Amino acid sequence: MYWSLLVHGKWSMYVAATSQGLCFVGSQNKPFEELAAWADVKFPGSKLVRDDEKLQPYAAQLSEYLEGSRKAFTIPFDFRGTSFQLAVWKSLCEIPYGQTQSYSDIANTIQKPAAVRAVGAAIGANPVLITVPCHRVIGKNGSLTGYRGGLEMKTQLLQLERDA
């Protein structure tokens, strides 16, 4: 597994990819240990190798997003999750840039209307922040709710999309 540190303006986050595609985007300003701990669980036995060149296409699209010039990602992904998680993550990718949906909206989209809590757990397990836009999911009453990167990061991403 290859990794790099993306630094763009006030943003700093670790990103990782396999030969198949992007597999991890870390939280803003979190230490390398966030990536290492995740890799130990999802890719046991894998070796983390820094390779800024291999990660350049992913970093470039993330930087373009952070600049407000990219609204969709065209990079390949390497997701590791249950079929339920994969369905939830796929539905997140269908939320239009600059818009939000509730957890129950996502549950309805995947035709599991009673699985709102499970949807929340799957969203919390999203390994590729920003690129799979879980920041676009809010509470049914419009409130900001949990986010692996923290509510400050979620707020900043939503504001970035509103301003673009």
pLDDT beyond 90 at 79: no
Return the DSSP state at 52.
H
- What's the average model confidence in pLDDT over 78-103? 96
Angle at 162 between CA 156 and CA 164, to 5 degrees: 100
- Say whether 134 is catalytic: yes
Q: Which residues of 85-105 are buried (b: 16+ CB within 10 A; e: fewer)?
A: bebbbebbeebeeeebbbbeb
One-letter amino acid at 75 equals I
- pLDDT, the chain, mean: 95
List pLDDT tens digits, range 16-42.
999 999 999 999 999 999 999 999 999
List pLDDT tens digits, range 105-149.
999 999 999 999 999 999 999 999 999 999 999 998 999 988 999
CA distance 147 to 129: 9
Statement: the pTM of the whole predicted model exceeds 0.75: yes
Q: Which of 134, 137, 138, 158 is catalytic?
A: 134
